[in-house]
């Protein structure tokens, strides 16, 4: 469940009072070496998401919006408001706060096509190194034409992901809803996010 808060100021969101979900290995469903917690809440203005990532090593050489951030370290959220798996939003943030945002079209054969010409207007993101935990990502997704404001009981299909590379080049693929393979684009494994007051 995603609870509504009165404030819309990111600095005022009581993140420690919001129950986290833990990401697991997307293939096996088991615990990962560097854990990731995700918290979410909403206001009348926006949907707020926080990733707390243990992160002893980060790599991302990308500098431009819509670069292929998924080829290195990244956190991701997929949002299917209709819930049919054919069209959904993908938003990614690199460890250095570079953004990828696109509409994804998924064919019946499972192939996906990303429309990166679309940008989520007024999307706000930040990435902070926190000494006692690691790297903290915050996303503020404003309500608008692409993501209309929910009402009590609205339910979206969503998934949260993280790709975390180690110094030796091995990678952990983490997910809220594990897909059973190294492929995040399987909407049948998206979780259900219900918006409540």
Helices first, then strands: H and E counts in the chain: 0, 14
Which of 23-32, 45-54, 140-149, 172-181 bottoms out in mean pLDDT, i.e. has the lowest? 140-149
Q: Which of 100, 75, 11 is nearest to 48 (CA)?
A: 11
Q: Would you say 16 and 125 are in contact if contact means Cβ atoms under 8 Å apart?
A: no
Residue 9 has pLDDT above 90, yes or no: no
What tokens appear for 118 in the block?
Answer: 């679309």
Rounded to whole angstroms, the Cα distance separating 160 from 107 reads 21
Q: Which of 81, 17, 77, 5 is nearest to 45 (CA)?
A: 5
Q: Would you say 140 and 46 are in contact if contact means Cβ atoms under 8 Å apart?
A: yes
Residue 165 exposure: Cα atoms within 13 Å on the Cβ side: 15
pLDDT in tens, 118-155: 999 999 999 999 888 899 999 999 999 888 999 999 99
- Among residues of the chain, what percentage have pLDDT more than 90? 88
Mean pLDDT (whole number) for 153-167: 97
Rounded to whole angstroms, the Cα distance separating 136 from 168 reads 23
Position 8 scores a pLDDT of 60
Output the CA torsion sign for 29, 31, 34, 35: positive
Q: Would you say 178 and 28 are in contact if contact means Cβ atoms under 8 Å apart?
A: yes
Mean pLDDT (whole number) for 151-169: 96
The helix (H) or strand (E) run that includes residue 68 is: none
Helical ranges in the chain per DSSP H: none
Position 60 scores a pLDDT of 97
Record the pTM. Answer: 0.95
pLDDT in tens, 69-121: 999 999 999 999 999 999 999 999 999 999 999 999 999 898 999 999 999 99
- Among residues of the chain, what percentage have pLDDT more than 70? 97
Q: How confident is the model at residue 11 (pLDDT cuts 50, 70, 90)?
A: low
What is the DSSP annotation of 110-158?
S-EEEETT---TT-EEEEEEETTTEEEEEEEEE-SSSSPPP-TT-EEEE
């Amino acid at each position: 469940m995603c609870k509504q808060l009165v404030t819309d100021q990111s600095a005022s969101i009581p993140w420690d009072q919001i129950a986290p979900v833990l990401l697991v290995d997307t293939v096996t469903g088991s615990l990962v070496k560097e854990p990731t917690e995700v918290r979410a809440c909403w206001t009348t203005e926006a949907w707020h998401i926080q990733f707390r990532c243990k992160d002893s090593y980060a790599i991302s050489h990308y500098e431009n919006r819509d670069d292929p951030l998924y080829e290195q370290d990244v956190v991701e959220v997929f949002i299917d408001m209709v819930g049919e798996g054919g069209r959904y939003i993908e938003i990614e943030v690199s460890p250095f706060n570079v953004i990828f945002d696109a509409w994804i079209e998924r064919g019946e054969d499972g192939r996906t096509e990303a429309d990166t010409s679309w940008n989520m207007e007024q999307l706000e993101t930040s990435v902070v190194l926190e000494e006692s935990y690691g790297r903290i990502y915050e996303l503020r997704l404003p309500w608008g034409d692409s993501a209309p404001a929910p009402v009590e009981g609205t339910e979206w299909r969503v998934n949260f992901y993280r790709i975390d590379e180690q110094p030796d080049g091995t990678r952990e693929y983490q997910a809220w809803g594990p897909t059973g393979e190294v492929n995040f684009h399987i909407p049948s494994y998206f979780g259900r996010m219900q918006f409540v007051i």
